[in-house]
Structure 1
């Protein structure tokens, strides 16, 4: 059996050795990683580490699950800096191949559960395109948008029905696939509601009475989906809207729609504390909103208020201490603070203080932080390039916040994604606080030529960002 399986693995995606072993008793994953940059990948389930899997020099790997610990369902594999999910059941031999240069787009499954996992991957890519769909349709009326989302849902269901006829999916997978479609549908409506509430008030009172009817049937503590991106994205957008609704009941003002405000994030913290019973979900959202609240705070008082609220929650001591440490770090990045001595490293290994970069460029700076481990950096850099072309009087500096041991991965990412090395740097010599910098992801700072922060807490995708940038430039 083992020899037959190895033959199956070694000819991955080729035509040889097609017969599946008739008597296989184990559960396996195997495959190939093209253009690899690491000698291992990690395996997780429900946000908990399972094992490390060695990757050979030729990119091949294989792994057998331990029968006594195996649980069917969704798993996550991580191959720095990317990650993705797969579905597997006992007795399966699932194979996949991926090219790190186009990770999500190139990922393809064969073997047992190939049809299931390729469907989930297809849904992931469609879900990523929902950003563009929302921007295309958020100006239409709520009734029209409801019809649009109904149409999208029916298309997804017909696609699933067609694949089911071809593959005879298990009941367990069909349940997951239907939830995948449902939560994309719910998420589209939540995101649309946020946009019209914030930017098109004339539509706010035209939302049909049954627009949010699905909320009555939501399971906010679905253990099977706790690490699934579609479910997490829906929960995130639901909480955003729910916090706004709470605010409007207390104080009907435009301030309620500022999702970066301490008040909005405080509402999301309180709702999360009361809503989630599954430990991983509860800690995920509470700590996430707490970090945001700390990162968006504008003064010491707001940070201290956040920490006082968190002390009333039942958080593990180490998590609470990390949030306290983050609060102290964030106090360095308030408007008016001097960051001219910030230590940076260029791709060629040259060490700089920020003041030297400012002196060399003779321009004010917009700095933006990013991580190779968060795929949104591609969208972020695309937006920055648009701004860079539009505002040549500013230097837009990318600041990578990953640990020092990831320098080679950072350099490889700059090559793979063709980022302009002239404007890319990495934070260096962070001392004992190095792990906290991951919380500074997507931080935007507008810095004058003296190295003083003039504006912080911004979002480059906010429609008002360019107005704020022009205000900074015209000071």
Structure 2
């Protein structure tokens, strides 16, 4: 029997997937009047055992991964347009034309960098992915440009934007995509440029302590009139929401230059700005949801800012059960000091179920970690080791959010014997019930198991002050 190396077998699997896509594409070419579409692929190092296929933030289908980490689905009637797919917690967009047969290949540990589309409809999606990566590189490696004076800043971002436009025009002519896809492609180019301009005055002040808003040209924000602020197609498009968040922050800061007191005040101002800027109610609701969610990510304020939640409720007409903010609000109320933690499925390394509410007899710190960040894993466990020396009467529990095999491998690799190690076997329940929106999130319990502080951060330099 012939034996193949791992690389050869991987290549063989990819060729087989491409062959399937090619045959499906041939079959669909003769059916130009239907809306059949195929979607599948292979996910290395998956973070969960399924792919969520979504449109407008609503799950259309849950696609399980098989034993080889593959998935595949045929849609008998799929409306052309922009969709997203998730291997939680990461996601990316995919655009389907009529009769497209698209396959993806990715490593979930490096989701964006490894993602490649193949099959019928792949070229436009690979273009959009390349554009995304270009913009992400700008965001992560060009923070220093906001230190520049205005002329140098504009020269720099204009030069980058001209390169993006040239790339966009070349690929548009080569691939020949439709007008609807062009709307999203051109929006990604433009909104990336506009967002930098919105960022400039307040990031410049943060970096240099120089407030230049009074010296900005009168026409500096004229581009705002070119943004389709009330087009519903953009409401679930991340480049749009990133831009809108920056724009609203700018307007709020300009209207209220000196805002003191708690953080909810400036954030209520942002809600009011959104109410005045957006006329399409569905778009307004989504923007309000985004502003509220961003605010609620600031864990230390989640309990005490009832005024913010009240104003959000007054402005947002989305009172459906699927409203993420309402769900978070209900969950947060369950996490107030003195309550017991909502029950979730936790297991130890021997696969025994652990009821956290029945295993607390002293002050306890619960923190979270994942294989997605090896550097943070070492830092957080080192911090806990130091805290154990300072606070010997405090118990520390680490909750991992990876798959079982990955978690057990890491426990052996890092030898975390001094810290109780548990795994959340249902990440979605953990996220919903304990409002896990950041991996840095830390929960402190009293000796009787009730909540002392459900929203703190282990890596905060003053964290030790929370402990007895």
Partner of 2:85: 77
Distance 1:304 1:284, change over 3 A: same
Counterpart among 219, 226, 231 of residue 222 in structure 1: 231
Superposed CA offset, 1:368-407 (max 9, x none): 557x7xxxx946x645756777997347989659xxxxx6
Report the Cα offset of residue 178 of structure 1. Answer: 1.4
Which stretch of structure 1 is more off in the superposition, 298-307 or 105-114? 298-307
Give 5+ residue unaligned stretches, structure 1.
1-8, 360-364, 402-406
Give 5+ residue unaligned stretches, structure 2.
1-13, 389-394
Superposed CA offset, 1:438-471 (max 9, x none): 35535655979999979966696xxxx65x569x
Report the Cα offset of residue 122 of structure 1. Answer: 1.3
* Equivalenced residues, count: 430
- The answer on 1:316 being equivalent to 2:319 is yes
Partner of 2:164: 156
- The answer on 1:62 being equivalent to 2:56 is no
Counterpart among 38, 53, 76 of residue 29 in structure 1: 38
Counterpart among 325, 333, 355 of residue 330 in structure 2: 325
In 2, are the aligned partners of 1:303 and 1:327 still within 8 Å (CA)? Answer: no
Counterpart among 199, 210, 222 of residue 213 in structure 1: 222
Cα separation, 2, equivalents of 1:130 and 1:414: 37
Partner of 1:142: 150
Partner of 1:198: 206
What is the TM-score when the length of structure 1 is the normalising length? 0.71
Cα separation, 2, equivalents of 1:152 and 1:276: 30
In 2, are the aligned partners of 1:273 and 1:282 still within 8 Å (CA)? Answer: yes
Distance 1:201 1:459, change over 3 A: farther
Cα separation, 2, equivalents of 1:161 and 1:385: 45
Report the Cα offset of residue 208 of structure 1. Answer: 4.2
Q: Map of 1:348-367 to 2, 5 A cutoff?
A: 348=349, 351=354
Which stretch of structure 1 is more off in the superposition, 35-44 or 411-420? 411-420
Partner of 2:386: 393
Counterpart among 433, 436, 439 of residue 433 in structure 2: 436
In 2, are the aligned partners of 1:414 and 1:420 still within 8 Å (CA)? Answer: no
Q: Secondary structure at the match of 1:268?
A: helix
Cα separation, 2, equivalents of 1:300 and 1:153: 38
- The answer on 1:245 being equivalent to 2:254 is yes
Cα separation, 2, equivalents of 1:235 and 1:164: 26
Distance 1:448 1:54, change over 3 A: closer
Q: Secondary structure at the match of 1:85?
A: strand
Counterpart among 40, 49, 52 of residue 59 in structure 2: 49
Report the Cα offset of residue 192 of structure 1. Answer: 3.4
In 1, are the aligned partners of 2:21 and 2:103 still within 8 Å (CA)? Answer: no
In 2, are the aligned partners of 1:142 and 1:203 still within 8 Å (CA)? Answer: no
Q: Secondary structure at the match of 2:169?
A: helix
Report the Cα offset of residue 170 of structure 1. Answer: 2.8
Partner of 2:11: none
Which stretch of structure 1 is more off in the superposition, 26-35 or 445-454? 445-454
Cα separation, 1, equivalents of 2:189 and 2:397: 36
Distance 1:102 1:347, change over 3 A: farther
Distance 1:43 1:177, change over 3 A: same
In 2, are the aligned partners of 1:262 and 1:302 still within 8 Å (CA)? Answer: no
Partner of 1:6: none
Superposed CA offset, 1:303-355 (max 9, x none): 333343244233416457635524423532xxxx8999x99957625757897
In 2, are the aligned partners of 1:134 and 1:192 still within 8 Å (CA)? Answer: no
Partner of 2:243: 234
Superposed CA offset, 1:162-204 (max 9, x none): 3234323333333321111111112223333332233433252
Cα separation, 2, equivalents of 1:214 and 1:91: 37
Partner of 2:306: 304
Distance 1:114 1:291, change over 3 A: closer
Cα separation, 2, equivalents of 1:36 and 1:54: 14
Cα separation, 1, equivalents of 2:159 and 2:435: 39
In 2, are the aligned partners of 1:445 and 1:458 still within 8 Å (CA)? Answer: yes
Q: Secondary structure at the match of 1:438?
A: coil
Partner of 2:125: 117
In 2, are the aligned partners of 1:221 and 1:276 still within 8 Å (CA)? Answer: yes
Partner of 1:3: none
- The answer on 1:264 being equivalent to 2:266 is yes
Q: Map of 1:380-459 to 2, 5 A cutoff?
A: 382=375, 385=378, 393-394=386-387, 400=399, 409=403, 412=406, 422=416, 425-426=422-423, 435-438=432-435, 440-442=437-439, 444=441
Report the Cα offset of residue 76 of structure 1. Answer: 0.8
